[in-house]
Amino acid sequence: PLDPPAYYLEHYRHKALPPIPVGDWAAETLPRRGFDSPVPSSPAEIDLARRAYYAQISHIDYQLNRMFMALFEAGVLDNTLFVFTADHGEMLYDHNLVAKALPFDGSARLPFILRLPQTGDWQATQNEVQKEVHQVVELRDLLPTFCEAAGAPIPTHVDGQSILPLCRGESAGWRAYLHGEHTGDPASANQWLTDGHEKYVWFPQTGRQLLFNLDDDPTELRDLTASSPDRVQHWRARLVEELTGREEGFVQNGELVVGRPQSPTLADVGRYQER
């Protein structure tokens, strides 16, 4: 819910907000339970919701400061590994969309801020750390990162990688791109790939695809599928590789198949539980 404390909401009540980005592809987005385009909200409701969201962020900032002060006063701040991230973003009416579970950056791109301890062996590492890492990272990288930071072995069956080598400027062997998906609602199910520079999106129920150049177009305003067929084919081939062998039958004879039945869970989930 968008329910910030009144103090923070009042701070944003009269501030000028950035314009809402709406891509040249947005009018074609499929409706989903009233959450997707077209948004069933008045301009006044949209404006208030955006202000409330920004107010919540400011509220979180203040609470983080309180936490840091408590750690400092307890004498443990410099010996604490801190990661600030989230499980998803919020479209917040970008491209006439709200909520999560969508492949666009408002929903899928997260804050990921890492503060290393400032004591002992960590101090030298902190002095060498990169201030900004541009490789694509995922939430599944958290567990391996925590394991390495604690000096514990990283379980062999986890999918993620520790990001500490990236912080040290060691990018060899890092993933070239990441694969994201969401199938909770078949009408808006999506499969997507990104390397942080480009993003390819495929909607398996309709076959619709989108391509964005994130370097030139970070708010995903321009769909490049018509003008960049070679890049579409490049990413489509990668998605075929990712989805080959999936029980849904997304790939047949080396091609993506539209309209396959989908479920938010896999029938072979048991093999993961047995690990």
The one-letter code for the residue type at 150 is: A
**Which bin fits 195, alpha (ψ -120 to 50), beta or left (φ > 0)?**
alpha
Query: How high is the pLDDT of residue 51?
Result: 97
Would you call the peptide bond into 31 cis, given omega within 30 degrees of 0 as the criterion? no
Scan for tokens 């062996």, then name that residue.
Answer: 121
* C-alpha 135: how far from chain center: 13
Q: What is the DSSP letter of 26?
A: G
Q: CA-CA distance, 89 to 83, in Å (whole number)?
A: 16
> What domains appear along the chain, each with residue ranges and CATH number?
1-133 (no CATH), 177-275 (3.30.1120.10)
Phi, psi (rounded to 5 degrees) for 13: -60, -35
Q: CA-CA distance, 206 to 252, in Å (whole number)?
A: 16
Query: How high is the pLDDT of residue 268?
Result: 67
pLDDT values of the chain reduced to their tens digit, one per residue, 275 residues: 789 999 999 999 999 999 999 999 997 544 444 444 455 678 898 899 999 999 999 999 999 999 999 999 999 998 899 999 999 999 999 998 888 899 999 999 999 999 888 877 776 666 666 678 899 999 999 999 999 999 999 999 998 999 999 988 888 899 999 999 998 777 789 999 999 999 999 999 999 999 999 999 999 999 999 999 999 999 999 999 999 999 999 999 999 999 998 777 777 655 545 54
H or E element at residue 256: strand 255-256
Query: How high is the pLDDT of residue 21?
Result: 96
Cβ–Cβ < 8 Å for 96, 37:
yes
Q: What is the DSSP letter of 76?
A: -
- The structure's pTM equals 0.89
Query: How high is the pLDDT of residue 34?
Result: 46
Cβ–Cβ < 8 Å for 81, 34:
no
Which tokens go with 194?
């990104």
Query: How high is the pLDDT of residue 168?
Result: 84
Of 161, 130, 127, the residue nearest 145 (C-alpha) = 161
Q: Which residues touch 97 (CB under 8 Å, ≥6 apart)?
A: 26, 29, 35, 36, 37, 39, 91, 104, 106, 107
Q: State whether residue 270 is helix, strand or coil.
A: helix
Q: b/e string for 149-176 if b means 16 or more Cβ within 10 A?
A: beeeeeeeeeebbbbbbbbeeeeeeeee
Query: How high is the pLDDT of residue 163?
Result: 93
Q: CA-CA distance, 154 to 203, in Å (whole number)?
A: 35
